[in-house]
Structure 1
Amino acid sequence: MNDKKTLNVLLAGGGTAGHIEPALAVGEALIQRHDAQVCALGTERGLEKTIIPARGIELHMIDPVPIPRKKPLQLLTVPGKLFHSVNQARKVIKDNDIDVVFGTGGYVAGSAYLAARTTNTPFYVLETNALAGMANKLGVRLGGTGFNAVAGSGMDGEVVGIPIRPGFGVAEDAAEIDAAREAFGLASDRRTLLVTGGSQGARSINSALLDARERLINNGWQILHAYGKKNDAPSAFKHYHPLPYIEDMASALKAADLILCRSGAMTVAEVTASRVPAVYVPLPHGNGEQGRNSAEIVASGGALTIADADLHGDRLVAEIQALDTEKLDTMEKALSQADAGNVAETLADRIASDISTD
């Protein structure tokens, strides 16, 4: 790419971290490996309005076009809103001389794919969930190059895995583990349970943990608990460390011997890359995609799963106390066989190569 103009890339993945982080991982790999100029689309409704600018990437806002599934009459307003949103995305593409669009789904993605199609801009569609969403299916049907995190999503495309941010991986030595634990105020001589469930999704996990925490601590664990910014803050005490949110999840995973969490696609990818045994509690909402996201890792022996309806303090204590050192080691070995890969770098190289030869 050195003898050609700068590669200008537009990211389109918004709403939740599960859409935003994979897009950012590929965008950052394009910057680092190919000196690309990267910007992104977003809406006021999504987490991208804070996450993306914090990573130093310019964010262009467009109007969201949600599909009102429960109010059929509101469907009549969708064409007009979509037309306006697509025109906003087209303007971003033209004003920034965009060479390629990379989308991962969410509110902005459908408009971005339509704008790319109507401006003859090459575009790529990555589905990170076990079941593909409407926007990404539309993107592939419009002529976008499809990629899937796992097979059988219902969307055409090569299976490549999930791009994750740099920094996630196995701690190189005991000193790195000790440093990570020290950063969170954790002891170096106790097994560490990391607990996180997002914001609204943390409620049932929080409830079970609050019932179980003293028994787990009495049995030798210490707990680092991200309870969610929208939830009430529990009181800290010895070996129990609550935080509303963990900014440096890569370091938190290096400090952990076990994680209790939801099984969003991004979470499963980051936990697997970090080789941390997990107890997954899939969100009970939607079409069951969270259970599918973690199914392969659970089947391999690298994780356990508890249905949300079955999650309570007694069950949590029983499951975790059954995980002695030997069983945790066996789970880590199973995770070491998982193919976390360098998906962000692979996709960045593929996109840069494709565009350079067009």
Structure 2
Amino acid sequence: MSQALTGRAPTVVVAGGGTAGHIEPAMALADAVRRLRPDAKIIAMGTPKGLENDLIPPRGYPLELIPPVPLPRKPTTDLLRLPLRVRDSVRRAREVLDRVGADVVVGFGGYVSLPVYLAARGRVPIVVHEANESPGLANRIGARFATRVAVGVPGASLPGAQLVGIPLRRSITTLDRPALREEARKHFGLDPEAPTLLVFGGSQGARTINTAVSGAAKDLADAGVGVLHAHGPKNTLIVQEFPGRPAYVPVPYLERMDLAYAAADVVLCRSGAMTVAEVSAVGLPAVFVPLPIGNGEQASNARPAVDAGAALLVADADLTPAKVADLVIPLVTDPDRVAKMSAAGSGLGHREADETLARIVLEAANT
């Protein structure tokens, strides 16, 4: 047995906050470490206002909070205005690392990662995981003094990186969609037989997606399509009901993504790295609508699935109620095409990324 899986119980600190795209891989990694080393002590680091405050404690991991340091995507003069905030956040992060006796730090990017990397530098081994092809500033800096660097997609521009994929929850990688279909549709109040479209725009929703799909509610109803639409906790969505037609079910947030995926025949969503990895893992045909900001990483994330024939790509500016009616409805209502796209997606992604990364982390803890 590997030395990483034996010996003194390690203390692992994971830093990934702000959005679900940072938090969920961190939690999947934590779960995998716990499976490999049930005696491991795992602590999460976050900020007071991040989504981690809602997502991490229910998963059973203690959450330590440090002041956030909002970072530009690339080095700019904005960084020159942040030295005092960075210094305070690094000091607080170092206090946590010392108090818990950290053996290794694992960062996933975002506001919380950079101060944790700086606090750990020269004191605690660092493992960096980057989900996107174009790394953010925190991971670009952290990778310079990391013990190991792991990436989720080919072509990520970090030196010495090892391709491992994106860690996903076991409830996703082991999901049997057909077996859960009946339970899933009952859970959400969906029609048990109608072709069903799942819609979401990330953890906070997406206005373009919300407007386009809700605007096509009558077309969807007339086509006999049921809809499960997560519009985001900060948004409201009022959709006209059509008696006798499959239900259009709006919800603020999907806590059971496994059941949401099982209920659906097709998904329309953003193409963050985490979302693309999950959708590919469960074999769900997708219509990806990349977020039209940043450096185009969401379009890059979607490209392998599109090239494989498992997904379609629609620009944010092109997504309208008419586009939903003309493009999405014909797809959802064509079972043969849905089956072909699902089959085309099989084999995409890295289903064992969680345990692969966990072994890297545990090895680093022993260095």
Instruction: Tell me whether the two structures share a fold, i.e. TM-score over 0.5.
Output: yes
Cα 1:235/1:293, change in 2 over 3 Å: same
Give the superposed CA RMSD: 2.0
Partners of 1:192 and 1:232 in 2: how far apart? 21
The reply on whether 1:41 has 2:49 as its aligned counterpart is no
Aligned to 1:233: 237
Aligned to 1:254: 262
From 123, 137, 141, the counterpart of 1:138:
141
From 293, 303, 306, the counterpart of 1:298:
306
Is the CA contact 2:208–2:319 (under 8 Å) kept in the aligned structure 1? yes
Specify the code of the residue in structure 1 equivalent to 2:348: A
How far has the Cα of 1:307 moved from its partner?
A: 0.2
**Residues 221-270 of structure 1, C-alpha deviations (whole Å, 9 max, x = no match):** 11111111111231463521111111101110011100010001111111
**Residues 324-346 of structure 1, C-alpha deviations (whole Å, 9 max, x = no match):** 11111110111113133211111
How far has the Cα of 1:53 moved from its partner?
A: 1.3
Partners of 2:105 and 2:282 in 1: how far apart? 29
Is the CA contact 1:169–1:275 (under 8 Å) kept in the aligned structure 2? no
How far has the Cα of 1:171 moved from its partner?
A: 4.9
Cα 1:233/1:189, change in 2 over 3 Å: same
Please identify, of 192-201 and 137-146, the stretch whose mean Cα deviation from structure 2 is larger: 192-201
**Residues 12-67 of structure 1, C-alpha deviations (whole Å, 9 max, x = no match):** 11111111111111011111221211001111232112211121111111112224
Aligned to 1:208: 212
**Residues 192-243 of structure 1, C-alpha deviations (whole Å, 9 max, x = no match):** 1001113655211111112212212221211111111111231463521111
How far has the Cα of 1:77 moved from its partner?
A: 3.8
Is the CA contact 2:164–2:350 (under 8 Å) kept in the aligned structure 1? no
From 340, 352, 358, the counterpart of 2:362:
352
The reply on whether 1:159 has 2:163 as its aligned counterpart is yes
Is the CA contact 1:236–1:242 (under 8 Å) kept in the aligned structure 2? no
Specify the code of the residue in structure 2 equivalent to 1:126: H
Partner SS, residue 295 of structure 1: helix
In structure 2, stretches of 5+ residues that fail to align are none
The reply on whether 1:55 has 2:59 as its aligned counterpart is yes
- Relative to the length of structure 2, the TM-score reads 0.91
From 245, 265, 275, the counterpart of 1:267:
275
**Residues 133-171 of structure 1, C-alpha deviations (whole Å, 9 max, x = no match):** 011010111234111111222212011111111211475
Is the CA contact 1:171–1:177 (under 8 Å) kept in the aligned structure 2? no
The reply on whether 1:32 has 2:35 as its aligned counterpart is yes
Partners of 1:3 and 1:200 in 2: how far apart? 41
How far has the Cα of 1:2 moved from its partner?
A: 7.1
From 341, 352, 355, the counterpart of 1:342:
352
From 81, 85, 91, the counterpart of 1:81:
85
In structure 1, stretches of 5+ residues that fail to align are none
Query: Identity of aligned pairs, percent?
Result: 43
Partners of 1:273 and 1:103 in 2: how far apart? 23
Partners of 1:69 and 1:341 in 2: how far apart? 29
Is the CA contact 1:208–1:313 (under 8 Å) kept in the aligned structure 2? yes
Cα 1:271/1:173, change in 2 over 3 Å: closer
Is the CA contact 1:67–1:78 (under 8 Å) kept in the aligned structure 2? no
Partners of 1:174 and 1:65 in 2: how far apart? 44
Please identify, of 194-203 and 78-87, the stretch whose mean Cα deviation from structure 2 is larger: 194-203
Partners of 2:85 and 2:280 in 1: how far apart? 40
From 148, 151, 161, the counterpart of 1:148:
151
Aligned to 1:11: 14
Structure number with the bigger relative contact order (C-alpha 8 A, sep ≥ 6) is: 2
Cα 1:3/1:296, change in 2 over 3 Å: closer
**Residues 261-312 of structure 1, C-alpha deviations (whole Å, 9 max, x = no match):** 0001111111111110000000111111111111111111000010000111
How far has the Cα of 1:79 moved from its partner?
A: 2.0
Is the CA contact 2:117–2:126 (under 8 Å) kept in the aligned structure 1? yes
Partners of 2:165 and 2:203 in 1: how far apart? 25
Aligned to 1:224: 228
Cα 1:125/1:74, change in 2 over 3 Å: closer
